[in-house]
Amino acid sequence: MSESNTIAASTADQNGAVPGEPVKKDENSRRGNWGNQIEFVLTSVGYAVGLGNVWRFPYLCYRNGGGAFMLPYFIMLVFCGIPLFFLELSFGQFASQGCLGVWKISPMFKGVGYGMMVVSTYIGIYYNVVICIAFYYFFMSMTNLLPWTYCNNPWNTPDCSGVLGSGKQFNATLANATTSLVAGVTEVVNRTKRTSPSEEYWKHYVLNISDGIGTFGEVRLPILGCLAVSWFVVFLCLIRGVKSSGKVVYFTATFPYLVLTILFIRGITLDGAINGIKYYLTPQWQKVLDAKVWGDAASQIFYSLGCAWGGLITMASYNKFHNNCFRDSIIISITNCATSVYAGFVIFSILGFMAHNLNVPVSEVADHGPGLAFVAYPEALTLLPISPLWSMLFFFMLILLGLGTQFCLLETLVTAIVDEIGTDWIIRNKTVVTLSVAIVGFLLGVPLTTQAGIYWLLLMDNYAASFSLVIISCIMCICVMYVYGHKNYFRDVEMMLGFPPPLFFKVCWRFISPVIISCIMIFTVIQYKPITYNNYTFPNWSLGVGFCMAMSSVLCIPIYALYKISRSPGATFRERLKFACRADPKWGPALQEHRTGCYAPLVSEDTVESRPLKEKEELKEELREELKEDETERKDDISLTIQGSNGSTNTHNSPNPSA
C-alpha cells in the first residue's frame, strides 16, 4: 500500500466519510448507502437479536448448568462468534456486494452464495409464519379477558385445568378472583393429568392441529390473514431498501428493550420470581466438563448471530468503504449475547411466579420455542393483574424481534437478485423486485397456515437452517483464508480500515474458528435425533424431505463449482481448476476512487486523453514519473514491475489465490 493510500485509509472518520473527499449524500450512488452508521448498527442488532434470544437461550442456559453455561458460551463468543461476524462484515463491506457478488473473490465458490440464498429463503418463509402467529395473539389480547384464561370454551377438553379455575365463578371483584385462584391451584394439584387452557387454545383453536404432517386439512383463515399483514408490513418497511428500513429500525430495534425492561421490573416484583431466577442462574460446575454443554454453547452462538445466512454480508455491503466494521462487529455481537442473558431474567422471573402459584418445580413449567412463546408464557401472563396489557406488550415485542430479522432476510434475497442482474432497469425498479419476493414468500408460506402447518414449520426450523449453515460457514472460511489467501485478505482489510486485522482475529480466521465450526458439525451429527413434537413422531418420509431441504443449500456449492470449472479455459483439469479459483479481475472495491494499490487501473496515454484537462495533466506527469522509474529499474536490473506514486502495478488484476 502506498503512503498516500495509507494516510487516506487511516484518516477515515467514524461514520465512514473520508476527510478531504467531497461530501456526498451517498458514497455509492448506484446502490445507495445507509443514512448513517447508527442505522447499520441498529439493523444488524435487529437482525442478530431475534426470537431465539428469548425462547431458546434461557432454556439452554438452565438445562446446561445455569450460570456455569455462561463460561463456555462467552468463550465461544470470543473465539468463534465475533471473528466470524467480523469476517462477514468486512467481506461484504470491502466488495460492496451482496452474498452473490462477493464471490468474485474466487468465482468457483459462488455456489456458497447461492446456498446462502436458499437458506435465507427457507428461514424467511417459516419465520414470517411465526411472526404472523404473534400478530394473531397480539390482536386476540385486545380484550378484557384473555381467551386462554379459562377452560369453559368450546375448544376445551375434559382434561383442561386452568390456574384460575373453570371461569364460572369469575367476576370483576378481586376477592372472587383470589378465591378462583386458590380453587384452581387445588384442582391442579389433585389432577394426575393437566392440560392448560393456553395449551388447548394453541392446539385446538389457533392451530386446530391435525393428526400428522401429511394431513393438511383446511387453511386457518385468521392465520392466513395475519400472514398477509406480516408480509405487507415487511414490504412497506423495505419499499425503499435500506433507506426506509434504516429509519424503521430506530423503533423496531430499540422498543423490544423497553418492553423487556417493563416485563423484567414487573416480573421480579412477583412472588416466586427469585426461585425462577435462581433456577436460571445457579451454576452446576460439573456440567462444564460435559462436551454436550460446549456443543450447545457453540451452536447457540453460531446460530443466534446469523452467520452464513448472507444477511451480514448484505447489510455490510451498504456501508461506506472506510467504515470501521471491526468496531461494529464487537458492539453488535456483545449486544446480541447480552440481550440473550437479559431475556433469561425476564422469562424465568415470570415462570418462577407461575411455578410458585402451581406449587410445582420450575422445570415443569419451563419450555422453549413455540411452547414457551405461545403456551407457557401466555399462561403465566393470565396470573397478572391487567393481563391483556402484559400480553399485548409481550407479543408486540415478539413481533418486533421477528421483523428485525425478517427485514434482513428479505433484503438479502432482493440485493442478491439486483446485484446479480445489475442492469439500470432492475436497480431503478428494485421496489418491484421487493414486492415480487414478498408475494412469492407469502404464497410459499400458505401451506404453513394449514392444520398441519406447525409440523412443517418445525421441520423447516430443524433441517433447513441447521447443519447446512455450518458447512457453508466452514467453506467460506477455507475459501477466503486458503484459496484467496490470508495475506491477500489481510491486505484488503488494512486497505479498507486503515489498520490490519488484530493478530487474534488473524489466528481465529485461519485456525481456531474453522476448527470450532468443524466441531459444531461433528457435534450436530453425533447429537442428531429424529424430530418430534410433543408425543408425535415424524414419519420417515417427512424426515427425508427435511434432509432434502438441508442438502439443497449445500449441493449448490459442488454443482456450481463443477459448472464453473467446465466453463473455464484450460487444456487440463488442473488448469481449469486454477483458473476457476483465481480472483475475478473485477474483484475489489466497487468504486473507482477506492481502487488503489494493487487494484488501481493501469495508466496509459489512451486513458489520459479522455480525462478532464486538469486531471489529464496530473496523469501525464504521473506517467512520465513511472516511465522514468521504470528506466532506472531496468538499468539496475532490479525489477520489471512498473509501480508509480499512485501505487499501481501491472499484476493488479489477479491477486494470487494461494495462501
Residues that constitute the known binding site for Na(+): 46, 48-49, 53, 304, 336, 401
Find all residues with CB under 8 Å of 320, minimum gap 6, and list them: 15, 16, 17, 27, 28, 33, 34
* Alpha-carbon span 304 to 57, nearest angstrom: 9
Q: Residue-wise over 521-542: b if at least 16 C-beta within 10 A, else e?
A: bebbeeeeeebebeeeebeeeb
Coil, helix or strand at residue 66: helix
Element (H, E) at 387: helix 387-421
612: left (phi over 0), alpha (psi -120 to 50) or beta: beta
The answer to whether 362 touches 74, Cβ cutoff 8 Å, is no
* Alpha-carbon span 536 to 539, nearest angstrom: 9
Element (H, E) at 99: none
> Grid cell 467504515 — which residue?
323
Q: Tell me 219's DSSP state.
A: B
**What string of DSSP letters covers 590-604?**
SSGGG--GGGSPPP-
> Grid cell 393438511 — which residue?
216
Least Cα distance to 294 among 80, 611, 464, 530 occurs for 80
Angle at 433 between CA 427 and CA 438, to 5 degrees: 150
Cell digits of residue 307: 452467520
Distance, CA of 254 to chain centre:
17
Please state, in angstroms and as integers, the Cα–Cα distance from residue 216 to each residue in 257, 459, 519, 598, following that order.
Answer: 38, 14, 38, 58
**What string of DSSP letters covers 239-305?**
TTTHHHHHHHHHHHTTHHHHHHHHHHHHHHTSTTHHHHHHHHH---GGGGG-HHHHHHHHHHHHHHT
Least Cα distance to 70 among 282, 312, 328 occurs for 282
**What string of DSSP letters covers 425-441?**
HHHHTHHHHHHHHHHHH
Q: Tell me 173's DSSP state.
A: -
Q: Residue-wise over 12-34: b if at least 16 C-beta within 10 A, else e?
A: beeebbbeeeeeeeebbeebbbb
Find all residues with CB under 8 Å of 523, minimum gap 6, and list them: 291, 292, 295, 298, 299
For the chain, the distance separating the N- and C-terminal CA atoms, rounded to the nearest angstrom, is 19
* Alpha-carbon span 305 to 44, nearest angstrom: 9
Residues for the chain: how many in total? 659
219 forms beta bridges with: 450
**What is the radius of gyration, based on Cα positions, of the chain?**
28
Q: For residue 438, count other CB atoms closer than 10 A to its CB.
A: 23
* Alpha-carbon span 435 to 444, nearest angstrom: 14
* Alpha-carbon span 589 to 192, nearest angstrom: 67
